[in-house]
């Protein structure tokens, strides 16, 4: 029988980072439960158990956390810059529900350790408006001015992790991802990160073709240019 202390949960296990994390945890000897709305896109999961659950629902979050000692919460409705610029209300609605329900389920199921995956989008825009920027530090998150929508919900959920630790004793940790891409990652469909989209455009371009910006990319470029004037 598997020791409960070696049983872990990875949410968002059908996504790019979550799928790779499942593989790494299996290599390290853990029993892994993967949870997502979908299976991984490009190869089968290596999770010992994979559940199709909707973590916007509290009962599904409770089922996901049942019997595990550690939670790696990567679940989110997100994508590249084009997606997060278009769907701010949807992103905030879905992700706040996911994170609130996951923290409460972890508390109720007596999870020992909880990792929340945040984003570089929580960092203030006013620190990134000129080319001669200083490297960002953890404490630079405040005074707050995160990416509108996606960045705000990530920063809120970071605070919620802190309060669950302070008030309920749940051992929480936060990491902030910075535009991660690589093998088995999304590269088309509107949710891909900018580096993956650029690679796809170059790979598909014929001799003499030009690489054009999308309308969203042009909008973001123009807005950032105005902010530096």
CA distance 33 to 191: 25
* Sign of the C-alpha dihedral computed for residues 193, 175, 60 and 40 taken in this order: positive
Tell me the two tokens of residue 97.
């529900």
Tell me the two tokens of residue 175.
């990491």
Q: How many residues in the chain?
A: 229
* Cβ-count burial 155-181 (b if 16+ within 10 Å, e if not): bbbbebbeebeeeeebebebebeeeeb
Rg (CA), the chain: 19
Look at residue 183 and give its three-state secondary structure. coil
Which position has the token pair 């994979």? 50
CA distance 139 to 216: 31
Catalytic residue flag (residue 72): no
**Contacting residues for 107 by C-beta, under 8 A, at least 6 apart:** 164, 168, 170
Catalytic entry in 30, 116, 123, 150? 150
The catalytic residues are 150
């Amino acid at each position: 029988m598997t020791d409960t202390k070696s049983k872990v949960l990875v949410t968002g296990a059908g996504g790019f980072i979550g799928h790779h994390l499942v593989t790494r945890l299996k290599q390290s000897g853990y029993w892994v439960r993967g949870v997502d709305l979908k299976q991984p896109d490009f190869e089968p999961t290596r999770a010992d158990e994979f559940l199709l659950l909707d973590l916007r629902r509290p009962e599904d979050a409770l089922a996901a956390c049942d019997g595990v000692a550690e939670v790696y919460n990567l679940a989110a409705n997100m994508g590249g810059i084009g997606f997060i610029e278009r769907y701010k209300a949807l992103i905030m609605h879905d992700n706040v529900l996911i994170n609130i329900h996951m923290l409460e389920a972890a508390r109720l199921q007596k999870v020992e350790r909880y990792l929340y995956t945040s984003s570089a989008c929580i960092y203030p825009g006013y620190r990134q408006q000129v080319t001669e920027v200083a490297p960002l530090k953890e404490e630079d998150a405040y005074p707050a001015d995160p990416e509108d929508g996606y960045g705000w919900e990530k920063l809120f959920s970071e605070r919620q992790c802190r309060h669950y630790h302070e008030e309920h004793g749940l051992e929480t940790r936060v990491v902030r991802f910075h535009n991660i891409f690589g093998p088995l990652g999304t590269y088309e469909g509107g949710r891909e990160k900018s580096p993956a989209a650029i690679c796809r455009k170059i790979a598909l371009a014929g001799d003499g073709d030009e690489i054009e910006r999308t309308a969203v990319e042009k909008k973001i470029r123009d807005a950032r240019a105005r902010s530096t004037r």
